Amino acid sequence: MRGLSFFDKVVLAINILFVILLFLACLSPYLSVKSFPFLPFLGLTVPALVTANLLFFGYWSLKRKWQLCLSLLALLVGYFSLGSFIRFGNTNYEIAADDFTVLSYNVRQFNRSGSIENEMIFEDIKMFLEEQKPDIVCFQEVSYLNRMKRFNYPYKYFAYKSMGRKTRLGIFSKYPIANAAIVPLRNTNNNACYADIVVKEDTIRVYNLHMQSLGITPGRGIIRRSSSDKLYKKLTASFKKQEDQAQYILEHSKGVSYKKLVCGDFNNSQYSRTYNLIKEDKKDSFEEAGRGYGRTYIFHGLPVRIDFILADPELGVTSHKNFDLKYSDHFPIMASFRLNED
């Protein structure tokens, strides 16, 4: 540290802290929250940690100091272990006649609570579907079940019978649904289901997930009213439930001989153990064909990507699109796929 001013020494100390935090965050997708309960919190902050290290790298670069190597190393390790949260230069292929499209959207009960000043949200979402014409739709947190039957889809499945207070899910399809069922998630209000859909001459298992909520929805003042210790325990318990649910869904899908698609609201980012377990060797449609940041939710002012469409390697991802619609607290995503991918 010789030759550094007092200010630079302070900057270096903070820099080292952010380097260590980014290194630890790189472990969050791979280590269980049950053994390392603090890691999921770091996973949520990966974009901020990367941005901070980029700023430190730029600072030391301007001063032509070797300390730039600290953040550079952290950024390289982060890139190769976590990937980039921004997609550059991906080319969206044209959707061919043989491709099929899938849309996933947490509709937050079509604004039944009135949290958005728009009384026409149900009709707006219906019009949005008519404009985009997705072949398969996976909704999380549905409501107005009788009205939803008016959606122009010949095949529908609603995961709601005997669900009690559990959130409801809906799957709509232009292709026949051969079989569908609830995937029971225990000790939670959240829910999961699947539908086996006959696309052309192939059958595809489509999972629709609404993973364990963190319970700190913006606007409810939960963070302000809770002590840091209570909030930490609450979030840690939610992360543990997510991991258990992800493991259960993974085991549930192992006996399926069909190609699989997994859609839904994971309530955690792509840098989480939850995401990593469910993804396994699947393709993330955003990583394959998306552009930009890909945010699907605004978490206390921070844009995050917590809604996903994942596909087995045998399915070719031909496009991905994020929509900027303010009909819910989430934003919808849509991807297209090609069968018989070599």
What CATH number has the domain bearing residue 183? 3.60.10.10
Instruction: Report yes or no on 91 lying in a domain.
Output: no
For residues 114 and 41, membership in a common domain is answered with no
Domain end residue (candidates: 54, 82, 110): 82
**Alpha-carbon separation of residue 317 from 100, 151, 195, 241, 294 (angstroms):** 10, 26, 20, 30, 16
Asked whether the whole model's pTM tops 0.85, one would answer yes
Residue 41: give the domain boundaries: 6-82
Distance CA 211, CA 250 (A): 13
Do residues 208 and 289 share a domain? yes
Q: How many domains does the chain have?
A: 2
Other CB atoms closer than 10 Å to residue 16's CB: what's the count?
15
Residues 75 and 105 grouped into a single domain? no
Q: What are the distances in angstroms from CA 79 to CA 47, 55, 84, 146, 215?
A: 11, 16, 6, 47, 30
Tokens of residue 76, six digits = 């390289």
35 CB burial (10 A radius; 0-12, 13-18, 19+): exposed
Same domain, 328 and 191: yes
Residue 176 lies in a domain: yes
Residue type, 211: M
Integer CA distances (angstroms), 67 to 48, 56, 60, 72, in order: 20, 9, 6, 9
- For each of the chain's 342 residues, which pLDDT tens digit applies? 667 899 999 999 999 999 999 999 999 999 999 999 999 999 989 999 999 999 999 999 999 999 999 999 999 999 999 888 888 765 555 677 789 999 999 999 998 888 898 989 999 999 999 999 999 999 999 987 778 878 889 999 998 766 667 778 999 999 999 999 999 898 888 999 999 999 988 999 999 999 999 876 655 545 545 567 888 888 999 999 999 999 999 999 998 999 999 999 999 999 999 999 999 999 999 999 999 999 999 987 888 999 999 999 999 999 999 999 999 999 999 999 998 755
